[in-house]
């Protein structure tokens, strides 16, 4: 059963937004739950605001993420974990030691790219005890017409981690849906392009 972690080393990368939307799409075909291991509790806040009673459940996993994973493994096909915005946080280290896939959202920004260097080191460290760990960079909030976005893949190619072919564009549907406690799957035609991106990313990195 895949354990998917959303990992970052700075705030504002869109980690939680990607987390809840990934979980929402996965839940359409498989039992899925979100573990919020971030002390900021953004995924938990999203769930409290959720307009639909059928929204993906979120469990507080800040204090003991390992126990939360063990208790939920039998009943769910996917665990999606929202990590703190730091690879130096104890929760992130514990998640990397047990997850199957770490998705690392990176915005078209020099600061995001620089912060990713530390993630590479922590991934290599985690693989000593968790050799099955796959880590993939995901370009997030891409604006194709900007020069920085066009140069993004070239810049990320200098790093040691692979980059997903699927990029997540900067779309109003992501921001507005999360603010309302929803996902792009709930946004109808306005969220269809965003939902398709998320589905493509899942197919690429999970084969699901």
pLDDT in tens, 65-88: 999 999 998 899 999 999 999 999
pLDDT in tens, 7-32: 998 877 889 999 999 999 999 999 99
Reference 175, options 188, 189, 147, 194; nearest CA is 194
Count CB neighbours of 27 within 10 A: 22
What residues contact residue 114 under an 8 Å CB cut-off, 6+ apart?
Answer: none
pTM: 0.93
Question: Mean pLDDT over residues 193-202, rounded?
Answer: 95
Reference 136, options 161, 168, 169, 173; nearest CA is 161
pLDDT at 200 over 90: yes
| For the chain, percent of residues with pLDDT exceeding 70 | 97
pLDDT of residue 142: 85
Distance CA 144, CA 203 (A): 22
Collapsing DSSP to helix, strand or coil, 202 comes out as helix
pLDDT at 135 over 70: yes
Distance CA 138, CA 39 (A): 23
Tokens of 100: 């199957």
pLDDT of residue 51: 64
pLDDT at 111 over 90: no
Which carries the bigger pLDDT value, residue 89 or residue 177? 89
C-alpha Rg value of the chain to the nearest Å: 16
Reference 81, options 3, 170, 194, 166; nearest CA is 3
Collapsing DSSP to helix, strand or coil, 102 comes out as strand
59 pLDDT band, cuts 50/70/90, is: very high
Reference 85, options 18, 133, 180; nearest CA is 18
Question: Mean pLDDT over residues 37-48, rounded?
Answer: 94
If you search the block for the tokens 């921001």, which residue do you land on? 175
Mean of all residue pLDDT scores within the chain: 90
Question: Mean pLDDT over residues 193-200, rounded?
Answer: 94
* Run of H or E residues at 181: none
Task: Strands of 53-186 (E only): list them.
Answer: 58-60, 78-82, 101-106, 134-142, 168-169
If you search the block for the tokens 């514990």, which residue do you land on? 94
pLDDT of residue 66: 94
**Range name among 73-87, 91-105, 127-141, 142-156 with the lowest pLDDT average:** 142-156
Q: Which fold has domain 3-206?
A: Rossmann fold (3.40.50)
């Amino acid at each position: 059963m895949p354990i998917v972690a959303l990992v970052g080393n700075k705030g504002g990368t869109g980690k939680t937004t990607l987390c809840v939307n990934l979980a929402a799409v996965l839940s359409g075909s498989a039992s899925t739950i979100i573990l919020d291991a971030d002390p900021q509790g953004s995924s938990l806040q999203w769930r409290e605001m959720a307009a639909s009673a059928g929204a993906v459940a979120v469990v507080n996993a800040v204090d003991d993420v390992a126990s939360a994973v063990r208790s939920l493994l039998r009943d769910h096909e996917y665990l999606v974990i929202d990590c703190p915005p730091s690879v130096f946080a104890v929760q992130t280290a514990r998640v990397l030691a047990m997850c199957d896939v770490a998705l690392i959202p990176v915005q078209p920004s020099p600061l995001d790219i620089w912060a990713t260097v530390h993630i590479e080191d922590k991934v290599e460290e985690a693989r000593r005890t968790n050799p099955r760990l796959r880590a993939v960079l995901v370009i997030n909030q891409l604006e194709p017409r900007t020069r920085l976005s066009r140069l993004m893949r070239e810049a990320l190619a200098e790093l040691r981690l692979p980059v997903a072919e699927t990029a997540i564009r900067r779309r109003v549907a992501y921001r507005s849906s999360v603010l309302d406690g929803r996902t792009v799957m709930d946004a109808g035609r306005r969220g269809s392009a965003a939902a398709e991106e998320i589905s493509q990313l899942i197919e690429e990195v999970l084969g699901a």
